[in-house]
């Protein structure tokens, strides 16, 4: 299942080593196309981001959590909007079982005014988000997680004092019609983890809105 990510991991390094002439091309491509992030089984570094309620949130704030469902999402993206109610339902279902939803907006608000912190607050209020909705202002957390688009989900599980990546991908197999879903990837993954079983299918892809990175 990891195979799809391997070319992304290998290619930039090869280009850098063997073909210095392509450096310029790689340099402008890399920030937008292929941030290299955590893979399955990797430990996640804790993060501290600003929530729509004004406070900051980190994994350390969830001492009893067995894990978390981290959702990279935003206001403007139609695919994110299509999944909004399903993200709310995931938190309602799994918060009490120790897997809270933590939503993170990775976008540069300069690219989409709709994704500004003020508009994040408005959206969270309008839809009564029962989970944190965090602004990744430096985009460093999104890069660490290898997020490239919204929506994008990473399920992590506590092992001792660490959180390990268990699932990377999409929520289910039908973004445009919640009623037509036949496979619930995230639900299945979390249910398997709660039952002490392997996740099963641990990597999926979906169409989404490319994350707008700040020019660095």
Point out which residues bind other proteins (CB under 8 A): 4, 7-8, 25, 28-29, 32-34, 78, 82, 148-149, 169-170, 173-177, 180, 185, 204-211
Among 215, 73, 84, 53, which residue's Cα sits nearest to residue 147? 73
- Token pair, residue 172, equals 């289910």
d(CA 35, CA 44): 15
CB closer to other proteins out of 37 and 67: 37
CB of 83 to other proteins, least distance (A): 12
Minimum CB distance to other proteins, residue 191 (Å)? 19
Residues 93 and 188 sit within 8 Å (Cβ to Cβ): no
Q: How far is the CB of 55 from other proteins (least distance, A)?
A: 31
What does the alpha-carbon distance between residue 89 and residue 107 come to, in Å, rounded to a whole number? Answer: 23
DSSP string computed for 138-154: T-HHHHHTT--EESEEE
Nearer to other proteins, 25 or 60 (CB): 25
Nearer CB in complex with other proteins: 156/209: 209
Cβ closer to other proteins: 46 or 180? Answer: 180
């Amino acid at each position: 299942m990891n195979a799809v990510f391997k070319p992304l991991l290998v290619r930039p390094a090869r280009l850098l080593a063997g073909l210095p002439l392509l450096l310029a091309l790689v340099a402008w491509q890399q920030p937008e196309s292929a941030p290299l992030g955590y893979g399955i089984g990797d430990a996640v570094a804790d993060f501290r981001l600003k929530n729509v309620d004004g406070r900051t949130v980190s994994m350390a704030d969830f001492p009893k959590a067995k894990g978390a469902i981290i959702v990279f999402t935003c206001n403007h993206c139609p695919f994110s909007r299509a999944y909004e109610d399903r993200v709310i339902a995931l938190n309602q279902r799994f918060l009490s079982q120790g897997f809270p939803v933590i939503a993170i907006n990775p976008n540069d608000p300069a690219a989409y005014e709709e994704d500004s912190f003020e508009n994040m607050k408005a959206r969270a209020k309008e839809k009564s988000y029962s989970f944190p909705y965090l602004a990744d202002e430096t985009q460093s957390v999104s890069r660490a997680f290898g997020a490239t688009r919204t929506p994008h989900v990473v399920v992590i599980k506590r092992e001792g004092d660490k959180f390990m990546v268990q699932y990377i991908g999409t929520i289910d197999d039908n973004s445009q019609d919640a009623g037509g879903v036949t496979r619930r990837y995230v639900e299945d993954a979390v249910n398997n983890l709660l039952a002490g079983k392997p996740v099963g299918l641990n990597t999926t892809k979906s169409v989404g809105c490319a994350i707008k990175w700040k020019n660095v």
